[in-house]
Structure 1
Amino acid sequence: MKLNLDIKSPSSTAWITAVMENFDDFLQDHLDCERKASSMAMSFIAKYPDRKEIIPELIETGIEELEHFQQVYQLMVKRDIPLPSSMGEDPYVKGLIKKCHSGREERFLDRLLVASIVETRGAERFKMVSDALDDPELKRFYKMLWTSEAKHGHIFVKMALNYFPEDQVYKRLEWWVDQEQEVIDGLEIRAALH
């Protein structure tokens, strides 16, 4: 059983060019994305404390994302890159969240599938970053992140399958893949993960 779907629209070469030309800016955004990913995993526990089957994996995911935050922060310290003066909204995630259902159960499914899509896009982009880097240490780091994000893409679909029929999960996931393409294709190119 496949636990996620591939993204429909690959990231552009213009995106990786922008990242490589403004890598310090990318690191600042990446740091913020890891913080938000950790918070998102923990917010599922706060909003759905009755979903006991998935709490252990949500805790593990939240900790892992926080460790990634720490690792990116350490990279920034080595490179003398300051923390961003403010951590704003992510237009990509905001665009996806706007498309979520509003009913409690439907929104729960949508948020799990959005998390899967976001992690899958992150994996694709971290692979691009790893492939484009010359520095062996950074290359290894982004390769590790690429595999971690791919794993998280699977975890959130697996969580959804605990509570919803397989047909419903995969039909809705296919819909989300189309929505993600629309959102990502509509964003301006910038040195940011999304």
Structure 2
Amino acid sequence: MVTSTPSVAFDESAITSTVSSIRWLAAPTSRLWVEQAIAKPMQVLIDHAHCERKAAGSAVQLMFRYLCEPGLGEVLSPLAREELEHFEQVLDLLKSRGRYLEPLRSPGYGAALAKHVRRAEPDRMLDSFLVAGLIEARSHERMALLAEHSSEVALRALYGSLLQSEARHFGVYWVLCEQRYSRDVIVPRLEQLAEAEVDALRGELEHPDDVRMHSVGVDT
């Protein structure tokens, strides 16, 4: 069963629908992941910068894939800009600590989810929105954990400052689905993809330095 997330309200000038309840994650992040993440704050911070960059790229990719889809560019363009603003915030904190972007081994999370996106339309659009929303929902959940448990004030402040916009982002993808598909189509597919998302996070971390924002670690 997919757990409920908080209500997400939207500016009517940008999105006409209001989401009263969004169901996303099928299992919570484990305490072990939290312990691993706060033990390696720089690895997670660098990975977070990569995640913000990828999230902006995903929004732009969808916007151009469905270039003539009414109402899509107006929503995804500002979302992409906001993701890049977050990327810049994380970069600034990294540079203040004498670090910068570094190549990191991918946990394979995004690639695992991408395999579940169906190729034929209109299924592809629905799955693309739901996968993007699931990634945003997991990011929101884990940033909330880092905002609560990180040992450094600066990190707690950074992650805490991003929570509201991250919640809005996964809400955006839900609204995009609701505007184009009926709930009896959306909800069963969301439940299937939410289980796939949990499967992508099962297992144990072999090396402490491989902890990432989306590395393995869920309670099931």
Higher helix share goes to which structure?
Answer: 1
Residue 44 of structure 1: aligned partner = 62
| Equivalent runs, 1:9-20 vs 2, <5 Å | 9-20=27-38
Residue 172 of structure 1: aligned partner = 189
Distance 2:24 2:63 in 1: 27
Residue 213 of structure 2: aligned partner = 193
The share of aligned pairs that are identical, in percent, is 27
How many residue pairs match? The answer is 193
Per-residue Cα deviation, 1:7-66 (whole angstroms, up to 9, x for no partner): 121111111111111111111111100000000001111100121212111011100000
Question: Does the 8 Å contact 1:7/1:120 carry over to 2?
Answer: yes
Residue 101 of structure 2: aligned partner = 83
SS at match of 2:63: helix
Question: Does the 8 Å contact 1:3/1:157 carry over to 2?
Answer: no
Spell out structure 1 runs of 4+ moving beyond 6 A: none
Amino acid at match of 2:212: A
Per-residue Cα deviation, 1:139-172 (whole angstroms, up to 9, x for no partner): 2221122222111111101001121122111221
Q: Does 1:4 align with 2:26?
A: no
Distance 2:165 2:149 in 1: 18
Amino acid at match of 1:112: F
SS at match of 2:200: helix
Per-residue Cα deviation, 1:53-80 (whole angstroms, up to 9, x for no partner): 1211101110000000000000000111
1:128 and 1:174, CA in 2 relative to 1: closer, same or farther beyond 3 A?
Answer: same
- TM-score, length-scaled by structure 2: 0.82
Question: Which of 2-11 and 124-133 deviates more?
Answer: 2-11
Amino acid at match of 1:192: R
Question: Which of 59-68 and 159-168 deviates more?
Answer: 159-168
Amino acid at match of 1:12: S
Amino acid at match of 1:110: D
Question: Does the 8 Å contact 1:34/1:65 carry over to 2?
Answer: yes
Residue 54 of structure 1: aligned partner = 72
Q: Does 1:103 align with 2:123?
A: no
Question: Does the 8 Å contact 1:3/1:158 carry over to 2?
Answer: no
Q: Does 1:132 align with 2:152?
A: no
State the Cα distance separating 1:188 from its structure 2 match: 3.4
RMSD: 1.7
Q: Does 1:65 align with 2:112?
A: no
Distance 2:199 2:71 in 1: 33
Structure 1, gaps ≥5 residues long: none
1:107 and 1:3, CA in 2 relative to 1: closer, same or farther beyond 3 A?
Answer: farther
State the Cα distance separating 1:192 from its structure 2 match: 0.8
User: Larger RCO: Structure 1 or Structure 2 (Cα < 8 Å, ≥ 6 residues apart)?
Assistant: 1
Residue 137 of structure 2: aligned partner = 120
Distance 1:87 1:128 in 2: 22
Per-residue Cα deviation, 1:100-120 (whole angstroms, up to 9, x for no partner): 111031111101000111000
1:99 and 1:188, CA in 2 relative to 1: closer, same or farther beyond 3 A?
Answer: farther
